Homo-oligomer: A and B are copies of this chain.
Amino acid sequence: MTSNGNDGGDGNNGNSRDGDTSAPLAVKEHARLVNDELEARMPLGEMSIHRAAEHLLTAGGKRLRPALLLLVAESLGRDPEDTLPPALSIEITHSFTLIHDDVMDDDPLRRGAPSVHEKWDVPTAILTGDYLYSKAFEIALETDASEPKLNRVMEMLSATCTRICEGQALDVELSDADTVSEAEYIRMVELKTGVLFAAATGIGALVAGSDAYDEAYDYGLKIGKAFQIQDDVLDLVAESDDLGKTRASDLFEGKNTLVTIHARSQGVDTSLPRDATDEEVDAKVNEIREAGSIEYAREHARKLVKEGKQDLTALPEGEARTALEELADYLVGRTY
């Protein structure tokens, strides 16, 4: 399956390819707020599922999704300190999907640490994901908002989780399909990754009581899709050390991505044998690059980011909106 967002590290290796490769300062500051709030809620308990949940929640991650929620709400006048519960809920939802994804893909590593089913076992990983799932709802219910708004937050969260599951299922189905169209792939990315970004930015507008809900939602949906497409690009062009996994794993595993779908439409055989050498990987990536497929995917992501930034004009100008614009650029400019 397509990896669910390579948000393992938090540093900046300075190895810029597209200019801005470090998350905007405001995002880092908001990520710290999220981390502090998570820490303040620990320990979660004495059971293995509590310890496993803490293991993943404290293993790092850029906290992009909760930072988006905080920044949208802030741009609309809400103090980030007051909108932490829904932000935490979004991050915890993301964490639950990671744990179950890793079981399904049997991935041994997550955020540079052993995945939950690797460090504990599969039953503990399933239960830890389930535990975080309901914790996400419990914490969302702490949202400081009027009751009608709170109900809308809960509707968004539950509908979003349903769509994420459908996106995952679609990912599995597309993995087994002989041919996948670009539209099918984009739909999968929207469900699997886009809707949680959109829930973050949409809920940010919702808790601020803004009329700009639709635009905030669309901004999140677009940059979420761009984020996943950039992940696919990075799988081919980033260094293994930065990725935290084998470079070109999508080629080794025969995955469908915007890059490989385009390359195959250009007549490129995108498969790599298990025992391919570094030189063979380089040659294959070059072939794909020369077919214009990497630039094609990059351009697709850049277009989404441009449109998403256009949506942002519905929010009041200011530091928070600027950070949201920078974050959008960062998502397609990052190199790991």
Report A's interface with B, CB cutoff 8 A: 45, 47-49, 100, 103-104, 122-124, 126-127, 129-131, 133-135, 137-138, 141, 147-148, 150-151, 154-155, 157-162, 165-166, 168-170, 172-173
Contacts and interface: CB of A to CB of B under 8 A. Distances in A.
9 contacts: A47-B169, A47-B173, A104-B122, A126-B126, A134-B158, A134-B160, A137-B137, A137-B158, A138-B159
Nearest to A139: B158
A292 to B, nearest CB: 33
Contacts of A124: 169, 172
Given A47-B169, A104-B122, A124-B169, A133 B130 contact: yes
A94 to B, nearest CB: 13
A6 to B, nearest CB: 21
A48 B168 CA distance: 11
A21 B52 CA distance: 43
A135 B47 CA distance: 27
Given A104-B127, A141-B155, A151-B141, A161 B173 contact: no
Contacts of A155: 138, 141
A240 to B, nearest CB: 26
Nearest to A162: B134
A103 B100 CA distance: 13
B154 A141 contact: yes
Given A47-B170, A47-B173, A172-B123, A100 B130 contact: yes
A139 B49 CA distance: 27
Contact of A127 (B133, B154, B169): B169
A304 to B, nearest CB: 25
Contacts of A166: 45, 47, 49, 131
Q: Which of A130, A151, A155 has the most CB of B within 10 A?
A: A130
Contacts of A126: 100, 103-104, 126
Contacts of A151: 141, 147, 150-151
A158 B138 contact: yes
Contacts of A141: 151, 154-155, 158
Contacts of A154: 137, 141, 154
Nearest to A138: B158
Contacts of A130: 100, 129, 133, 161, 165, 168
A141 to B, nearest CB: 5
Contacts of A133: 130, 133-134, 161
Contacts of A135: 158, 162
B137 A161 contact: yes
Contacts of A123: 104, 172
Contact of A138 (B47, B100, B162, B169): B162
A103 to B, nearest CB: 6
Given A126-B103, A141-B155, A150-B151, A169 B134 contact: no
A56 to B, nearest CB: 15
A169 B53 CA distance: 13
